[in-house]
């Protein structure tokens, strides 16, 4: 009996010695509309990031196991030049595939998340989305490259990566996952909406699903802040934040410095307006107008694009929302709307400019289609998360998309087995912030997909100076972590989701 079990385990988990092909032989692998550029074994600890950016702390990849590194160029259109890398563990492959996402307009392979996947035994891949560098300039007069960025590079990467995995190990991955945040969250939803067969489980972090709306909002605020008098100093932001927390902290039933239900927060920054000239502890009329604009929705076509949530104030900058939000929005207008690298935020027209982002290739970037029925019907699981204090992508976009998807699928009870959204109070963009913001996303989606155990909560922790000082469950929206009434408010066990 014992022998039989050992034999079964061996067959189910072939080691590196029974690979279907050598790593080097993958260099001659034939893929449609694609070329394998290289295939090489990278010895344990030998990988360094191209460009030599090992970082001040030494090589962040020193703990990687031996893997087969495959680089390929994909050309699904005449104007396409999509780079991908596929990393294949030489031993102890977990028989699974994890694709990782990108950020903003970035045109580079995302090595850090690939390394995390590899450490867990995954075969993993990443794409540069079809261009080099962090600007949207690639898209100007290159509609096919815009489409590569919008969705095609990710899907093509998945198809090619699965073929490479099959060639190397002699079998397809048993389970396939997407893991991305920000732009990677947008890519996640695009995959679920357009290519429901690509993944069994999808992690969509802080998704920039309303890429158009986010750009319009960010540029609207940046245009407002061209007026120096309308800007807030860090001291003003702190005053504002303290006032918001004082007004809304207790709404969720617990005074803990965190606003767990910002949508229920009622706060008018007018209460902070100076009465006798400017002072550090009050806001000028122009500053009050700025703050109101940042919280308020923007009319865009037939929808309202949400402003930022109450509680996010400490993360705002004088460049508008965040430097990245401003830069991403500015590039969006320059290269996908006006084809003018000199276009400035001061030219923004809040009446006519927002809708322009929804046209042409620009509009194809958005991942706003709430119809996920095909993905759910295949058994796909979608784990989404968003920080309530996100200064780059409004968390209200996430709750709005969730509600639209629920409606499109016929109600919450039909969706809870397939799609759960975890809102993190006090968490900034993809992590960081005053609230618990560090949590494992991969283990919950694995358990959901592979064992049918949907996550009823995910415990997140907060650290200060490298030391964990608070843990709290994140709850499936619209539930919030509710204090049981006894025990430390810094311990997860003192809370229940409801
Ligand atoms: Ca609270």
User: pLDDT tens digit string along 428-457?
Assistant: 999 999 999 999 999 999 999 999 999 999
131 part of the active site? no
How far, in Å, is the centroid of ligand 1 from the Cα of 287? Answer: 26
| DSSP-assigned letter for residue 283 | B
| Residue 408 pLDDT level (bands cut at 50, 70, 90) | very high
How far, in Å, is the centroid of ligand 1 from the Cα of 491? Answer: 15
How far, in Å, is the centroid of ligand 1 from the Cα of 260? Answer: 6
Scanning 317-430, the segments in alpha helix (DSSP H) are 323-331, 353-356, 360-365, 373-377, 395-408, 412-415
Q: Which of 125, 135, 153, 182 is an active site residue?
A: 182
Would you say residue 145 has pLDDT above 60? yes
* Widest distance between CA atoms in the chain: 86
How far, in Å, is the centroid of ligand 1 from the Cα of 261? Answer: 8
The DSSP element (H or E) to which 385 belongs, if any, is strand 381-387
| Residue 12 pLDDT level (bands cut at 50, 70, 90) | very low
Residue 467, burial from CB neighbour count under 10 angstroms (0-12, 13-18, 19+) = exposed
How far, in Å, is the centroid of ligand 1 from the Cα of 245? Answer: 8
Q: Which of 142, 155, 236, 429 is an active site residue?
A: 429
d(CA 118, CA 87): 7
Highest mean pLDDT among 169-173, 251-255, 313-317: 169-173
In degrees, rounded to 5, the angle at the alpha carbon of residue 280 between the alpha carbons of residues 278 and 282 is 65
Query: How high is the pLDDT of residue 53?
Result: 52
390 part of the active site? yes
135 part of the active site? no
Q: Which of 198, 256, 353, 390 is an active site residue?
A: 390
How far, in Å, is the centroid of ligand 1 from the Cα of 492? Answer: 15
List CB-based neighbours of ion ligand 1 within 5 Å.
249, 252, 254, 256, 258
Average pLDDT of the chain, as a whole number: 93
How far, in Å, is the centroid of ligand 1 from the Cα of 402? Answer: 23
| Residue 323 pLDDT level (bands cut at 50, 70, 90) | confident
Query: How high is the pLDDT of residue 301?
Result: 82
| Contact assessment for residue 409 and residue 372, using Cβ atoms and an 8 Å cutoff | yes
Question: Could you give the percent of the chain with pLDDT greater than 90?
Answer: 89
């Amino acid at each position: 009996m014992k022998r039989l079990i050992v034999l079964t385990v061996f067959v189910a988990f072939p080691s590196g010695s029974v690979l279907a092909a050598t790593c080097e032989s993958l260099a001659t692998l034939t893929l449609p509309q694609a070329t394998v550029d290289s295939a090489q074994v990278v010895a344990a600890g030998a990988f360094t990031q191209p460009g030599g950016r090992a970082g001040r702390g030494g090589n962040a990849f020193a703990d990687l196991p031996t893997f087969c590194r495959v680089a390929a160029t994909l050309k699904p259109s005449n104007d396409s030049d999509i780079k991908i890398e596929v990393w294949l563990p030489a031993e102890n492959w977990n028989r699974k595939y994890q694709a990782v996402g990108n950020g903003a307009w970035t045109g580079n392979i995302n090595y850090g998340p690939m390394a995390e996947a590899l450490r867990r035994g995954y075969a993993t891949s990443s794409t540069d989305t079809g261009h080099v560098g962090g600007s949207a300039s690639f898209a100007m007069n290159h509609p096919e490259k815009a489409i590569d960025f919008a969705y095609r590079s990710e899907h093509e990467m998945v198809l090619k990566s699965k073929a490479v995995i099959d060639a190397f190990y002699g079998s397809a991955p048993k389970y396939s996952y997407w893991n991305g945040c920000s732009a990677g969250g947008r890519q996640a939803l695009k995959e679920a909406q357009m290519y429901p067969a690509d993944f069994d489980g999808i992690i969509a972090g802080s998704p920039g699903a309303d890429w158009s709306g986010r750009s319009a909002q960010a540029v609207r605020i940046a245009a407002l802040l061209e007026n120096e008098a309308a800007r807030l100093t860090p001291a003003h932001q702190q005053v504002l934040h303290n006032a918001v927390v004082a007004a809304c902290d207790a709404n969720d039933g617990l005074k803990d410095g965190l606003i767990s239900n910002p949508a229920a927060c009622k706060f008018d920054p007018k209460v902070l307006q100076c009465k006798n000239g400017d002072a550090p502890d009050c806001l000028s009329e122009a500053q009050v107008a700025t703050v109101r604009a940042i919280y308020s929705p923007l009319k865009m076509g037939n929808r309202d694009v949400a402003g930022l949530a109450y509680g996010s104030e400490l993360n705002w900058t004088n460049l508008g929302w965040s430097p990245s939000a401003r830069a991403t929005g500015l590039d969006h207008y320059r290269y996908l709307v006006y084809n003018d690298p000199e276009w400035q935020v001061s030219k923004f027209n809040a009446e006519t400019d927002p809708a322009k982002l929804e046209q042409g290739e620009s509009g194809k970037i958005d991942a706003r289609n709430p119809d996920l029925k095909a993905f759910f019907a295949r058994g796909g699981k979608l784990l989404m998360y968003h920080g309530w204090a996100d200064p780059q992508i409004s968390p209200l976009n996430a709750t709005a998309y969730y509600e639209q998807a629920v409606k499109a699928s016929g109600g919450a009870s039909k969706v809870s087995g397939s799609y759960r959204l975890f809102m993190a109070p006090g968490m900034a963009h993809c992590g960081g912030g005053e609230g618990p913001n560090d949590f494992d996303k991969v283990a919950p989606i694995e358990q959901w997909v592979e064992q049918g155990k949907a996550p009823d909560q995910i415990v997140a922790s907060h650290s200060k100076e490298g030391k964990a000082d608070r843990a709290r469950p994140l709850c499936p929206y619209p539930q919030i972590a509710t204090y049981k009434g006894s025990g430390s408010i810094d311990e997860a066990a003192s809370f229940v989701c409801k």
